[in-house]
Amino acid sequence: MQFLYDTQQLVDTIQHLLVSMCEAYHLPPVFVVSVVAMVVALSVIGGFISVNAMMVVLAERKIAGYIQDRLGPMRVGPFGILQTAADAVKLLLKENIMPAVADKWTFFLAPVVVMAPAAMAYVVLPWSPGLIVSDLNIGLLYVMAVGSIGVIGIIMAGWSSGNKYSLLGGIRSSAQIVSYELAMSLSVIGIVMLAGSLKLSDIIVSQQDCWYIIKQPLAFILFIIAAVAECNRAPFDLPEAESELISGFHTEYGGIKFAMFFLAEYANMFVASAVCATLFLGGWNGIPGIPLSLPPIVWFLAKTYAIMFLFIWFRWTYPRIRVDQLMGFGWKVLLPLGFLNIGLTGLVMVLI
Amino acid sequence: MKMMMNIDAICSWLLPNMAFFILAVIGIVCGVLVVTVRNLVHAVLFLAVFLLSVAGLFITLNAEFLAIIQVFIFVGAIVVLFMFLIMLTYRVSDMAVPQGNKLKGVAIVTSSVLFCLIFYILKAMKWNEVSVPITGDISQIGKLLLGQFVLPFELVSFVLLVALIGAIVIGRKGE
């Protein structure tokens, strides 16, 4: 299992192997290495997104059952562990229905526009040293920018369904995302100031001695609230509010198109948790001061799923808030606190 | 061995240039569609694709920071705000509502004058070759913005502030 600890070396060895193979068979090395890297990265990310969504949906239903003092899914397979697999098959086999008044192309493209940015964000996630598809210099900005494209898909879905509830869901989503995106970007500026870099691997390395959750507790709270809102999850799930909008922007979607919205929600949730683990919990580093040696990728996944558990816990604990409360909270509480955090961080940095 | 180098050389030339041509065609087509389609929501969606293609062009120029900021601000915020306003406006996506006005002649004259102006300025301008190594280092941009170009930078933020106050004043008039 040594290779799990030294992933940088693993990646380098594979690359050298490929290059020497190319030289032996007279193939262009740059071309082959980049094609192989692309294919491997895309298949791993694609597979991970679907398997992760299935697991997390099951976990969510089980945790919801536990919180509400019931068993959750129990019928399919032992303890219901095959429930989400059965659900996925059911969704894939369902008939594709399009409302007569729907705007055809927009309706068709909306799930794609939601899903594609969610998958794009995985490109910069730092799984383990060396195991990053592309360690961009502006990785943090990239995650935020890509995450903000998805909302266009939600608005497209809401508008093209030709249904008032869906339209309301789309409008709510646009207002919500614009407000909370601001709070989210402000909350991470403190970390960027401390780390001096937007590169996610640099931010992790700078946390070797002390996690930023200790240095930036206010930013952590702001970030997690904004992340829950960006993922459209309860208590901020106003765009899909079942009891008011009969699930809002995806009311008219069924079968595989609905499955894509579902997949995108869980893919986004993983990205938000992974970024949170990277920024505040030290990413692939172990806990400072505790001599527990685990492979970096295990640390990363453990922290990410811990934050995901927090997300699920929120959903089954807090009631949904009203639209005016949502906007007021975003603009009058989170935004000023974000500015305060930047000011305080700057002040402390100048004094120390 | 020689063929192998050739393919690599072709790949390293073709990929960025191909990306440029594809992005340029997408940008031009979507730019034309933005001003010609009847449905306003479609126009905004095409605007989003246009802005994304411009972001792609920035990436082919190694200006990743600009590209990301382009996506972040224009696609993520401005287009979303446009959509929000269009959906709140009464009957705006209705086919019966005229989407243009009757000023075609004026529009043609102004846009062709503007086009000629930009074209000749670009042609007459002497471009300085700057040999600064291109890095994705945004601290350089930050230092320039708050050092050499601090005055225009602050001026721009002042203009934004004026726009903000103006919007609030107009919005409050009804009360």
Q: Taking CB atoms and an 8 Å cutoff, what residues of chain A touch B138?
A: 137-138, 198
Interchain contact, B137 vs A137, CB within 8 Å: yes
CA distance A78 to A82: 8
Nearest to A173 by CA among A162, A185, A165, A184: A165
Determine the residue among A31, A172, A186 to mutate to test chain B binding: the one whose Cβ has the most chain B Cβ atoms within 10 Å: A31
Q: B117 vs chain A: nearest CA distance in angstroms?
A: 34
CB-nearest to B79 from A22, A141, A152 is A152
Across the range A228-237, mean pLDDT stands at: 81
- ipTM > 0.90? no
Q: A38 and chain B: CB distance < 8 Å anywhere?
A: no
How much is the pLDDT for B112? Answer: 93
CA closest to A30 among chain B residues: B8
Q: B15 and chain A: CB distance < 8 Å anywhere?
A: no
Q: Residue B71: pLDDT above 60? A: yes
How many other CB atoms sit within 10 Å of the CB of residue B80? 25
Determine the residue among A137, A154, A182, A232 to mutate to test chain B binding: the one whose Cβ has the most chain B Cβ atoms within 10 Å: A137
User: What does pLDDT average to over chain A?
Assistant: 84
Q: Residue A111: pLDDT above 60? A: yes
Reading the block at residue A255, the tokens are 């079968």
Token look-up 């945004």 returns B138
Nearest to A80 by CA among A115, A55, A47, A99: A55
CA closest to A171 among chain B residues: B84
Query: Is residue A286 exposed (0-12), middle (13-18) or buried (19+ Cβ within 10 Å)?
Result: middle
Report percent pLDDT > 70 for chain A.
99
Give the model's confidence band at A14: pLDDT under 50 very low, under 70 low, under 90 confident, else very high.
confident
Q: Residue A53: pLDDT above 70? A: yes
Q: Residue B6: pLDDT above 70? A: no
**What's the CATH code, domain B1-94?**
1.20.120.1200
Q: How many residues does chain A have?
A: 352
Q: Taking CB atoms and an 8 Å cutoff, what residues of chain B touch A152?
A: 45, 48, 75, 79-80, 83
Q: Residue A146: pLDDT above 80? A: yes
CA distance A180 to A337: 13
CA distance A305 to A312: 10
Across the range A203-231, mean pLDDT stands at: 86
Q: Which residue has the higher pLDDT, B162 or A243?
A: B162
A294: left (phi over 0), alpha (psi -120 to 50) or beta: beta
How much is the pLDDT for B113? Answer: 94
CB-nearest to B64 from A30, A138, A181 is A138
- When mean pLDDT is compared across A141-155, A252-266, B80-94, the lowest value belongs to B80-94
How much is the pLDDT for B131? Answer: 57
Amino acid at A299: W
Q: A108 vs chain B: nearest CA distance in angstroms?
A: 14
Q: Which residue has the higher pLDDT, A229 or A241?
A: A229
Reading the block at residue A194, the tokens are 């401390």
Give the model's confidence band at B102: pLDDT under 50 very low, under 70 low, under 90 confident, else very high.
confident
Across the range B25-48, mean pLDDT stands at: 86
Q: Which residue has the higher pLDDT, B113 or A211?
A: B113
| CA distances in angstroms from A208 to A128, A135, A271, A285, A324, listed in the order given | 14, 19, 22, 7, 41
CA distance A266 to A58: 12
Q: Where are the beta strands (DSSP E) in A154-299?
A: none
How much is the pLDDT for B110? Answer: 92
Q: Taking CB atoms and an 8 Å cutoff, what residues of chain B touch A138?
A: 64-65, 68, 136, 138
Interchain contact, A27 vs B4, CB within 8 Å: yes
CA distance A150 to A305: 22
Q: B92 and chain A: CB distance < 8 Å anywhere?
A: no
Reading the block at residue A84, the tokens are 């989400």
**Helix B2-36 vs helix B40-60: crossing angle, to nearest 10:** 150
- A234: CB partners within 8 A, 6+ apart: A314, A315, A316, A318, A320
Q: A32 vs chain B: nearest CA distance in angstroms?
A: 10
CA closest to B71 among chain A residues: A145
Q: Taking CB atoms and an 8 Å cutoff, what residues of chain A touch B84?
A: 155, 171, 174-175, 178
How much is the pLDDT for B130? Answer: 64
Report percent pLDDT > 70 for chain B.
78
Give the model's confidence band at A67: pLDDT under 50 very low, under 70 low, under 90 confident, else very high.
confident
How much is the pLDDT for B132? Answer: 59
pLDDT tens string A266-323: 888 899 999 988 888 887 887 777 777 778 888 888 889 999 998 888 888 888 888 8
Task: Give the number of A-B residue pairs with CB atoms closer than 8 Å.
Answer: 95
- When mean pLDDT is compared across A59-63, A270-274, A286-290, A332-336, the lowest value belongs to A286-290
Q: Residue B97: pLDDT above 60? A: yes
Reading the block at residue A91, the tokens are 């969704």
CB-nearest to B76 from A30, A145, A171 is A145
Reduce the DSSP state of residue B44 to 3 states and report it: helix
How much is the pLDDT for B136? Answer: 55
CA distance A150 to A144: 11
CA distance B143 to B52: 27
CA distance A36 to A34: 5
Q: B33 and chain A: CB distance < 8 Å anywhere?
A: no
Across the range B141-164, mean pLDDT stands at: 86
DSSP string of A190-213, one letter each residue: HHHHHH----HHHHHHTTSSS-HH
- A251: CB partners within 8 A, 6+ apart: A161, A163, A165, A166, A169, A245
Interchain contact, A155 vs B87, CB within 8 Å: yes
Query: Is residue A335 exposed (0-12), middle (13-18) or buried (19+ Cβ within 10 Å)?
Result: middle
Q: Residue B2: pLDDT above 60? A: no
DSSP string of A110-144, one letter each residue: HHHHHHHHHHHGGGG---BTTB-S---TTHHHHHH
Within 13 Å and on the Cβ side, how many CA atoms surround B158?
6
Q: B71 and chain A: CB distance < 8 Å anywhere?
A: yes
Give the model's confidence band at B159: pLDDT under 50 very low, under 70 low, under 90 confident, else very high.
very high
pTM of the entire predicted model: 0.84
pLDDT tens string A112-141: 888 888 888 888 888 888 778 777 778 888
CB A207 within 8 A of CB A285: yes
Q: A30 and chain B: CB distance < 8 Å anywhere?
A: yes
pLDDT tens string B123-140: 887 776 665 555 556 777
Query: Is residue B99 exposed (0-12), middle (13-18) or buried (19+ Cβ within 10 Å)?
Result: middle
- B45: CB partners within 8 A, 6+ apart: A106, A152, A156
B131-170: b or e for each residue (b if 16 or more CB lie within 10 Å)? Answer: eeeeeeebeeeeeeeeeeeeeeeeeeeeeeeeeeeeeeee
